[in-house]
Amino acid sequence: MAKIRPSKGSPYARILGVGGYRPTRVVPNEVILETIDSSDEWIRSRSGIETRHWANDEETVAAMSVEASGKAIADAGITAEQIGAVVVSTVSHFKQTPAVATEIADKLGTDKAAAFDISAGCAGFGYGLTLAKGMVVEGSAEYVLVIGVERLSDLTDLEDRTTAFLFGDGAGAVVVGPSKEPAIGPTVWGSEGDKSETIKQTVPWTEYDSSGKFPAITQEGQAVFRWAVFEMAKVAKEALDAAGVTADELDVFIPHQANERIIDSMVKTLKLPESVTVARDVRTTGNTSAASIPLAMERLLATGEAKSGDTALVIGFGAGLVYAATVVTLP
């Protein structure tokens, strides 16, 4: 019986670079109020959102991903040819096959990198990061590009008072590569499919023609809020414990940018000290689902609110319901 040779990967993995792309069009709450009966004060008090970015026809899922990825690759100090795998998390690429990751890999100039899409909603970046870490450590790829990208404006019902103000577009990307020391902690992830109806697409694509209305994302706001605040705070604490990091040792908290009230409640429940920098990119970017964590990470580093080497807790949660949390060292 033949013996299989063990994999030759790195002992650890880390995020080496990060990049982001936000569409050029900035959409203030006043535009949203043209189609719903609400007020700027109500939107801000409920979500913290002041503006969001909406993509134009040229700012496709692939185009935004290429822009964000180019920045991440440059930030990591490598070339596109060194990328061994491209993992794209999105729920708003409307072509079932081929995966948009293959188009992105080609446009970036990778050398036949493995490329695939995953659908894990707002937890998608965490899922992709976990897969990338595994590939680097196992040895199937030395460098992995993880992209979170959405054009949620395409899936927004502008007459739905509960969701019309929430969603934005954009792309965030990171390069994951080898590390001599632990820099991506164990992932605490899972799903609660019994709650799948709380965030969903209104109708399947197969029913689009008969419904007469383009599918949109809808959610049960209060149920999602309670789940995110109480259950996801527990998951975040589990991720800290798994990494052997206490709240007092944490430098940065980067939760999914769903809603500022949820973020504030999680900070309180986790009892994070005031010294911890908390990402609040939701105020000007809105909820960009899979893109929200890398976009928030990129902005914190660009503004100097966070710095290279900081210890950050990241957690994504959303439709499924699914979640993923881990502790990382910032690039």
Q: 53 an active-site residue?
A: no
φ, ψ dihedrals at 85, nearest 5°: -155, 145
Q: Which of 29, 53, 93, 122 is catalytic?
A: 122
Q: How far apart are the C-alpha atoms of 158 and 170, rounded to whole Å? A: 18
259 as an active site residue: the answer is no
Given the residues 53, 93, 256, 259, the one annotated as active site: 256
Q: What would the 3-class secondary structure string for the chain be?
A: CCCCCCCCCCCEEEEEEEEEECCCEEEEHHHHCCCCCCCHHHHHHHHCCCEEEECCCCCCHHHHHHHHHHHHHHHHCCCHHHEEEEEEECCCCCCCCCCHHHHHHHHHCCCCCEEEEECCHHHHHHHHHHHHHHHHHHCCCCEEEEEEEEEHHHHCCCCCCCCCCCECEEEEEEEEEEECCCCECCCEEEECHHHHHHEEECCCHHHHHHHCCCCCEEECHHHHHHHHHHHHHHHHHHHHHHHCCCHHHCCEEEECCCCHHHHHHHHHHHCCCCCCEECCCHHHHCECHHHHHHHHHHHHHHHCCCCCCCEEEEEEEECCCEEEEEEEECC
Residues identified as active-site: 122, 256, 287
